[in-house]
Amino acid sequence: MKGGFLLLLSFLILAPCLKPISACAQVDPWEFEVYPYATENRGVVELETLNAVVADGFSEPDKGTGGPRFASQSSWYNGNEFTYGFTDRIEAAVYADFSLISGHGIQWSGSKYRLRGRLFDPGVLPVDIGWYVELEYNAVPQFDDTSLELELRPIVEKDIGLFSFCFNPKFEKPLTGPEHNNGWNFGYATGAYYRFQRYFSPGIEFFGAIGDMANSDSLSQQHHYVFPVVWGNLPHGIEYSLGPGFGLTEGSDRILVKFNIGLERFLGAIFGPSSDSAWFF
């Protein structure tokens, strides 16, 4: 059972990468994060800063995580997230993204608005399933050719003993710009974690993108990364996840370092508790 689940997970990640055609296949450097099935509790606010620094990247624009105007080398991508738990099963979040570009200073990169939720209670289905809907506004032309994008992301999680496996396939649709008539882009964020200690646990994460599902880049031009990470929950509601990332293809930056830090606090509930019999909200 365990081997079959891992084989299916590997196939879902790697199968789309084997088709050599052409498009833009770039990961989101402001969000090296794998979303779990669990959502924020009702009335809880989380403030989170998501950071990635390119230690070994490209000196030319439009390569690696670099945008159309800026090179990726020595760039610092900073996403700031405000999340609120509306119910026990649905949360909302807004992001403000910034970049520190070598020779260009701090740049506003864009903003995001999303809803994320979970279906049923844990253990009702063979795997725990969640959902994610995001509207992304990008600063153009510095960081993207498309100012507005829609992202849909199913969330699949399976716990086996002290191990947790999370898979986030990503489907993105440009709503404006030269690619708005194209189809959906495909990417993924996935992770495997060992719950060793509450304060300190190891894991491994994978992030990647192939571009347009009907017209993808060759594998050498796609972006795929692996991150060995440590993560944990510290006293006073502090959460962290950090580790180095290594590019797996020629089109990827060679080395990045990510460090995500979050702070949770109960602010107060707007809605009543979710019903035990509800499957959505």
For 129-171, how does the pLDDT look when each residue is reduced to its tens digit (9 = 90+)? 999 999 999 999 888 889 999 999 999 999 999 999 999 999 9
pLDDT, position 4:
45
Q: Kindly state whether residue 162 falls inside one of the protein's structural domains.
A: yes
Q: Does residue 5 have a pLDDT over 70? A: no
Q: Kindly state whether residue 278 falls inside one of the protein's structural domains.
A: no
In whole angstroms, what is the distance from residue 253 CA to residue 76 CA?
13
pLDDT, position 25:
58
Q: Kindly state whether residue 277 falls inside one of the protein's structural domains.
A: no
Q: Kindly state whether residue 204 falls inside one of the protein's structural domains.
A: yes
pTM of this prediction exceeds 0.95: no
State pLDDT tens for residues 168-225: 999 999 999 888 888 999 999 999 999 999 999 999 999 999 989 988 878 988 999 9
Q: Which domain holds residue 221?
A: 2-266
Mean pLDDT of the chain: 90
CA-CA-CA-CA torsion sign (168, 74, 233, 47): negative
pLDDT, position 32:
98
In terms of Cα–Cα distance, which of 53, 108, 42 is closest to 80?
108
pLDDT > 70: percent of the chain: 91
State pLDDT tens for residues 251-274: 999 999 999 999 999 999 998 888
pLDDT, position 131:
98
Alpha-helical regions (H) of the chain = 2-14
217, 21 Cβ separation under 8 angstroms = yes
Q: Kindly state whether residue 75 falls inside one of the protein's structural domains.
A: yes
Q: Kindly state whether residue 73 falls inside one of the protein's structural domains.
A: yes
Q: Kindly state whether residue 271 falls inside one of the protein's structural domains.
A: no
218, 231 Cβ separation under 8 angstroms = no
In terms of Cα–Cα distance, which of 164, 244, 246 is closest to 201?
164
Confidence grade of residue 12 (pLDDT, cut at 50, 70, 90) = very low
pLDDT, position 103:
87
State pLDDT tens for residues 61-76: 989 999 899 999 999 9
Q: List the CATH number of the domain containing 232.
A: 2.40.160.40
State pLDDT tens for residues 49-106: 999 999 999 999 989 999 899 999 999 999 999 999 999 999 999 999 999 998 899 9
Q: Kindly state whether residue 273 falls inside one of the protein's structural domains.
A: no
Spell out the residues 6+ positions from residue 39 whose beta carbon is closer than 8 angstroms to its own. 85, 88, 89, 90, 91, 116, 117, 118, 130
In terms of Cα–Cα distance, which of 250, 243, 206, 252 is closest to 14?
206
Q: What is the CA radius of gyration of the chain?
A: 18
How many structural domains does the chain have? 1
